[in-house]
Chains A and B, each alone.
Chain A
């Protein structure tokens, strides 16, 4: 299954609707990397390539070590392309299981939902000069 990616001004939104296979994660990585680096066509209102990416996990019921590592890798690659990533919608049980596994996200910010994620991105993009630990 391919994850649809929506463009909202300077921000890309990818909402993962189903458990992804390994191939699904690689496809999402390739799609986000391609879109995050793409400048808008001449005449668009938007002048720069997307500077922020929101990845929505609100319908995901499992984030195991492989999925978390894939997600963090995507955020690290996007940072190298000049885009900030915020992961939103991690459910309480998923957060619990991830913490039990010792999993976290080093290269992405997190927010409780899409609205909070967009607000966080707006702050980060305005703040600039912020360096990633990746």
Chain B
């Protein structure tokens, strides 16, 4: 069982300015964990894609950034877990939304599959009419 450690921070993501704020916050927290420069960029980029999805399709939402200590298999392994929650229309077909190029809006359809490739763990839970939660984790190697 993973143990969530402080610090944890929570930010609203409702417009393009807050998208930039979310990725800055993620990068700053990740930098304290000892991620490489490339990992920091991957995390910030994944946060940017998911935050934009939330603003564009979910009517905005919030992101939580948490430091994780230990993943159950590797004791003492540290990581950053990002949870993005919106109360938008939800995704009717998550499998399909995870495919490259699938989009219902003006985007390129890269958001979910792209962010998954940039992170180590990635999970989407969505219910139509209720909202969507994306949870993604990157471990410090």
Contacts and interface: CB of A to CB of B under 8 A. Distances in A.
Interface in A6-58: 19, 21-23
**A contact residues, range:** 20 to 34
Nearest to A98: B45
B4 interface: no
A19 B24 contact: yes
A22 B37 CA distance: 25
Interface stretch (B76-84, B106-114, B133-141): B106-114
Nearest to B45: A97
Contacts of B27: 61
A93 B19 CA distance: 20
Contact of B49 (A22, A64, A91, A94): A64
Contacts, number: 65
B66 interface: no
Given A61-B27, A62-B23, A100 B16 contact: no
Contacts of B45: 62-64, 97-98, 101
Nearest to A61: B41
A94 B17 CA distance: 20
A interface: dominant SS: helix
Given A62-B23, A62-B45, A101 B110 contact: yes
Given A21-B20, A66-B52, A102 B110 contact: yes
A109 B44 CA distance: 25
Contact of B114 (A19, A94, A101): A101
A65 B40 contact: no
B118 interface: yes
A5 interface: no
A89 B49 CA distance: 22
Contact of A65 (B38, B44, B114): B114
A69 interface: yes
A92 interface: yes
Nearest to B18: A21
A65 B111 contact: yes
A63 B48 CA distance: 9
Contacts of A69: 108
B42 interface: yes
B17 A100 contact: no
Interface in A96-127: 96-98, 100-103
B117 A100 contact: yes
> Which 3 pairs across A and B sit closest by C-beta, in order of nearness?
A93-B41, A93-B38, A101-B114
